[in-house]
Structure 1
Amino acid sequence: MRTLRSRQVQGAILVVAALAVVWLLVVFVQGGASTGGAGASPAGPAGARAVRTLVTDPASGLPWIDESALPPEARETLALIRAGGPFPYPRNDGVTFANREGLLPREQRGYYREYTVQTPGSPDRGPRRIITGSGGETYWTADHYASFSRIREGS
């Protein structure tokens, strides 16, 4: 009798666990994931509000983030990049980004450029950056190069 009851309990636990996994998959595929702690989302800590989907960019292997999901300061920086400036940190904005962390696709030196995204309340440049590639791609980091997302511009 005990064995039967213990098997029933184990079966019920497995069913509940399977349902939880299915629910999590549905939430993430439908874009229900919100940003949070380190590694919780492609936007990273103090990053964007929400991400439509967690589909990755096949070229970089990084998660996509819609431009519209970026914080307003990041959208302002993108507008400045498109306009060619002027930038709030002219000595630092537009300089070569070396990709020392190796998180972006490997390219020759000088391929990437970095731009500061102002962080409200920060006494310095803060941790947020947009990185551009010579091929026209753009990347977002909210945690000073610890993680990146590929920006889906115009979305």
Structure 2
Amino acid sequence: MKKPLSKSWTGIATSLLVSASVLTGAAMLDAGVSPAWARSSPAESALNSAIGLSQLPTQAQDVHRRILAGGPFKYTKDGTVFGNRERALPRKPRGFYHEYTVPTPGSRTRGARRIVCGGEVVQIPETCFYTEDHYSSFKPIDPRH
């Protein structure tokens, strides 16, 4: 009958296993292979491909300027809290994100285009995202480009 390992030996064995997995993951990254913990989900991958502010439609650029200026906005829903119910954006406390309509030429409704910005001060957003398909996908906005 085998004797159970003492607590100190169990701790050492656990430390060795953790170290081995970290080293294996580092070696995989060095070899150009992503271990499972380093891979991003499809939603995270989409969020990693930022779009330059200058690449957005002119209507979106105008809405972005209005966000920084505090308005005025065309639609009453502009500036309301975006709940992120779809969890397509990074998780933040309720009230962090606010949404704004990007007008679509020729559309009689608000259309599907939006800018969602997040931060403690609405006029100084920490991050903004653009969606042209009513929250199905988002691209981070890079205001420097």
Name the structure 2 match of 1:104: 89
Following superposition, the deviation at residue 136 of structure 1 comes to 1.4
The answer to which structure has the higher helix fraction is: 2
Name the structure 2 match of 1:147: 137
Q: Deviations over 1:6-27 (max 9, x none)?
A: xxxxxxxxxxxxxxxxxxxxxx
Following superposition, the deviation at residue 103 of structure 1 comes to 0.6
Corresponding residue SS for 2:100:
strand
From 41, 59, 64, give the equivalent of 1:78: 64
- Structure 2 distance, partners of 1:110, 1:83, is 19
Name the structure 2 match of 1:136: 126
- Structure 1 distance, partners of 2:104, 2:126, is 24
Larger radius of gyration: 2
Q: What percent identity do the matched residue pairs reach?
A: 48
- Structure 1 distance, partners of 2:105, 2:136, is 20
TM-score (norm 1): 0.59
Q: How many residues align?
A: 96
- Structure 2 distance, partners of 1:83, 1:149, is 22
Question: Unpaired segments of 5 or more residues in structure 2?
Answer: 1-39, 120-124
TM-score (norm 2): 0.63
Corresponding residue SS for 2:94:
coil
- Structure 2 distance, partners of 1:114, 1:73, is 15
Question: Unpaired segments of 5 or more residues in structure 1?
Answer: 1-55
Runs of 4+ in 1 over 4 A off after TM superposition: none
Report which stretch shifted further, 72-81 or 60-69: 60-69
Matches within 5 A, 1:25-36: none
